[in-house]
């Protein structure tokens, strides 16, 4: 089939304009390269085709185009989708973006009837619809990945309820905790991350298609029909806001950046814990690398990369915030700059969750090293102060007393559990036993029998609750996934 002169991109010196008779000159090749987006927005291809099929069917329902043309359009779009999935679609940068690539290919396949597809539609509301569909599915995928990671953390926590290690503040040993409690802390963080994506998913409930370039259309479009076909609750309510806003993308980038910061903290601990100085964990070979020079090295490159990639996610958020700041209504071409940060953050998040999930599911816990570090009597200094509180000593006074005891230990080079009863009572008469009797690691844990505390009962119960919650959430997410897939 001969190329349509209006879409022929083979002319020397650049292609002619892709959108009709207003222009007679060719686009400068430098401008083509500068403005082209198909090399990244082809990630929206299947969403673009899904939206186009729904739009074509709506045009047929409203009798804006004949039924035969609807069939030709839908058949052609499905054939293009198959080519894209097979990797045989000829993407042409000269056609600028994924929308024009698909429309041009459709014209090659079914002829002039392809021109009917853009009836009542602008690329402005088209890309907003594609992005909404992409975000809805990507939010669900993020929740699924986080669910799997949280399941791993809870499963490993259930294995290590009785594994003890120091808890740290300021990266200094603070108080003893159970490894299960430590990993459940990250499960809690990641649950809130999942909730942020779920919350955004609920906000993606209005369909942009039909808003046009800025002011809607004079044609009798049925926006409710299109919205329902694409799985939205209703059409968007303001055509200008529809094409001018990128706050849903910003919200996704924000949720991703927060999640990546949480993942970075997990990664940092894997780096520290796997060091010779700590020796708390040994990473599996599958999630480690060697040195090009030093044959003895086993490097925690995977968590280091997650830690580093959190900066990309933060940068992507800042990039789009900066792009959107101060833009007048409605659409501006600056907004094309939303796609690369979006796609990059989505991919970075997915891969980061997956490799950390694998790292923690396969690592070996060095229980003896953790237990040895947790035996430091100084970790129970707060317990001594609280023993005095039980004896009706004001906490500030008790804190000062134990602080003096710790200072004495530092000066004499002794441990906190070495003080005799007489020595203890010299610090405060309310002490009723030598430090060796008062400082008991297991008793310290069991006294913390508060909700959210580190007693065996509370941690075991927390594992049970988390397991039940994850089971419920898995069922809910599976149902949500079926709904998302049902609109494809």
Instruction: Say which of 291, 420, 432, 471 is annotated catalytic.
Output: 291
The answer to whether 227 and 208 have CB atoms below 8 angstroms apart is no
Alpha helix positions (H), 64-178 = 67-86, 98-110, 123-159
**Using CA atoms, how far apart are residues 424 and 437, in angstroms rounded to an integer?**
11
**Using CA atoms, how far apart are residues 353 and 266, in angstroms rounded to an integer?**
11
Rounded to the nearest angstrom, the gap between the alpha carbon of residue 461 and the centroid of all alpha carbons in its chain is: 28
Q: Is 181 a residue of the active site?
A: no
What is the DSSP secondary structure assignment for residue 347, as one 8-state letter? H
Hey, which residues does 282 pair with through a beta bridge? Answer: 364
Closest listed residue to residue 50, CA positions, set 18, 85, 20: 85
Q: Transcribe 301-317 into DSSP letters.
A: HHHHHHHHHHHHHHHHH
**Using CA atoms, how far apart are residues 340 and 97, in angstroms rounded to an integer?**
13
Helix or strand holding residue 50 (H, E): helix 45-61
Closest listed residue to residue 439, CA positions, set 389, 372, 371, 381: 381
Hey, which residues does 365 pair with through a beta bridge? Answer: 281
**Using CA atoms, how far apart are residues 477 and 195, in angstroms rounded to an integer?**
12
**Using CA atoms, how far apart are residues 180 and 456, in angstroms rounded to an integer?**
10
Maximum CA pair distance of the chain? 103
Q: Convert 378-445 into a string of H (helix), E (strand) and C (coil).
A: HHHHHHHHHHHHHCCCCHHHHHHHHHHHHHHHHHHCCCHHHCCHHHHHHHCCCCCCCHHHHCCHHHHH
Handedness of CA 194, 199, 205, 211 (dihedral sign): negative
Q: Is 170 a residue of the active site?
A: yes
Alpha helix positions (H), 1-41 = 29-35, 38-41
Say which residues have a Cβ less than 8 Å from residue 300's Cβ, sequence separation at least 6. Answer: 270, 271, 274, 283, 288
The answer to whether 343 and 43 have CB atoms below 8 angstroms apart is yes
Q: Beta strand 164-169 with 172-178: parallel, antiparallel or unpaired? A: antiparallel
The answer to whether 240 and 330 have CB atoms below 8 angstroms apart is yes
Q: Transcribe 239-292 into DSSP letters.
A: HHHHHH--HHHHHHHHHHHHHHHHHHHHHHHHHHHTSTTT--EE--GGG-B--S
Q: Which residues are catalytic?
A: 170, 291
């Amino acid at each position: 089939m001969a190329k349509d002169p209006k879409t022929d991109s083979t002319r020397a010196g650049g292609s002619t304009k892709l959108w009709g008779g207003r222009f007679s000159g060719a686009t400068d090749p430098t401008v083509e390269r500068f403005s082209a987006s198909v090399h990244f927005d082809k990630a929206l291809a299947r969403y673009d085709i899904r939206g186009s099929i729904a739009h074509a069917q709506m045009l047929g329902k409203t009798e804006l185009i004949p039924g035969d043309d609807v069939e030709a359009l839908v058949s052609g779009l499905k054939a293009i989708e198959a080519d894209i999935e097979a990797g045989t679609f000829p993407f042409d940068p000269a056609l600028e973006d994924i929308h024009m690539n698909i429309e041009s290919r459709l014209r090659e396949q079914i002829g002039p009837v392809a021109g009917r597809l853009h009836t009542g539609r602008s690329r402005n509301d088209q890309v907003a619809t594609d992005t909404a569909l992409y975000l809805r599915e990507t939010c669900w995928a993020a929740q699924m990945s986080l669910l799997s990671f949280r399941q791993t953390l809870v499963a490993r926590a259930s294995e290590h309820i009785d594994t003890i290690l120091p808890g740290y503040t300021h990266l200094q040993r603070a108080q003893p905790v159970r490894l299960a409690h430590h990993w459940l802390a990250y499960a809690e963080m990641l649950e809130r991350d999942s909730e942020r994506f779920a919350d955004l998913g609920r906000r993606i409930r209005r369909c942009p298609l039909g808003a046009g370039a800025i002011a809607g259309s004079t044609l009798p479009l049925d926006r409710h029909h299109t919205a329902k076909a694409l799985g939205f609750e209703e059409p968007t309510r303001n055509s200008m806001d529809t094409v001018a806003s990128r706050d849903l993308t910003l919200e996704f980038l924000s949720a991703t950046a927060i999640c990546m910061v949480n993942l970075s903290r997990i990664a940092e601990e894997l780096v520290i814990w796997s060091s010779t100085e700590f020796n708390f964990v040994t990473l599996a070979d599958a999630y480690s690398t060697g040195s090009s020079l030093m044959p003895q090295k086993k490097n925690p490159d995977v968590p280091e990369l997650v830690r580093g990639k959190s900066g990309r996610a933060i940068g992507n958020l800042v990039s789009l915030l900066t792009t959107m700041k101060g833009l007048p209504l409605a659409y501006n071409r600056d907004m094309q700059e939303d796609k690369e940060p979006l796609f990059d953050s989505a991919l970075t998040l997915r891969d980061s969750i997956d490799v950390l999930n694998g790292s923690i599911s396969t690592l070996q816990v060095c229980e003896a090293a953790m237990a040895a570090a947790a035996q430091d009597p100084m970790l129970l200094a707060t317990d001594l102060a609280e023993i005095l509180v039980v004896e009706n000593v004001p906490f500030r006074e008790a804190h000062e007393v134990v602080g003096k005891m710790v200072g004495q230990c530092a000066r004499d080079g002794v441990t906190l559990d070495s003080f005799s009863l007489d020595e203890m009572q010299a610090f405060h008469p309310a002490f009723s036993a030598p430090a060796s009797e008062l400082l008991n690691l297991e008793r310290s844990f069991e006294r913390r029998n508060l909700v959210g505390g580190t007693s065996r009962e509370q941690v075991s119960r927390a594992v049970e609750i988390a397991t039940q919650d994850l089971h419920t959430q898995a069922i809910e997410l599976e149902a949500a996934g079926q709904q998302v897939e049902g609109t494809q």
